[in-house]
A and B are shown apart, each in its own frame.
Chain A
Amino acid sequence: MSQAYAIQPRDERTQPARIVAGYPQTMLRAPAEPLVKRAPTLSELTGPLQVARRVQLLGGDIAGHGAKQAIGQVIRLRVRVIDEDGAPLPGTVVEMWQANAAGRYIHPNDDDHAPVDANFYGAARLVTGESGAFELRTVKPGAYPVPTRDGWWRPPHVHFSLFGKVWLSRLVTQMYFPGEPLNAQDRILNAVPDAAARERLVAKYVPPTGEPYNELLFEHEIVLRGRKSTPVQP
Chain B
Amino acid sequence: MTRTVPTGEATIGPFFPPRYVDAGANDLTQLEGRPARGQPIEIFGRVVQEDGSPLENLVVEIWQADPAGIYRHPADPRHAQADPDFLGWGRTATDKEGVYRFRTILPGAAPGRLPHVNVMLMFSGLMRILKTAVYFELGADPVLDAVPAARRSLLVAKKDGEGRYRFDIRLRGAGETPFFDD
Contact = CB atoms under 8 A, between A and B. Distances in A.
Interface of A: 1-5, 15-20, 23-51, 53-56, 58, 95, 97, 99, 105-111, 121-123, 125, 146-149, 154, 159, 161, 166-168, 170-172, 188, 191, 232, 234
B159 interface: no
A36 B149 CA distance: 12
Interface residues of B, number: 77
Contacts of A159: 14-15
A167 B72 contact: no
Nearest to B73: A46
B67 interface: no
B143 A43 contact: yes
B128 A18 contact: yes
Interface in B133-153: 133, 142-143, 146-148, 151
If over half of B's interface residues share one DSSP class (helix, strand or loop), that class is named, otherwise mixed; here it is loop
A234 B25 contact: no
B13 to A, nearest CB: 7
Main secondary structure of the interface of A (DSSP, over half): loop
Given A3-B75, A17-B127, A56-B22, A106 B182 contact: no
A16 to B, nearest CB: 5
Given A29-B125, A147-B10, A51 B74 contact: no
Given A33-B178, A107-B15, A2 B74 contact: yes
A45 B143 CA distance: 13
A30 B50 CA distance: 9
Interface string B74-92: 1111010000000111110
9 contacts: A29-B49, A41-B113, A46-B75, A46-B76, A107-B15, A109-B11, A167-B63, A172-B122, A232-B127
Contacts of A31: 130, 171-172, 176-177, 179
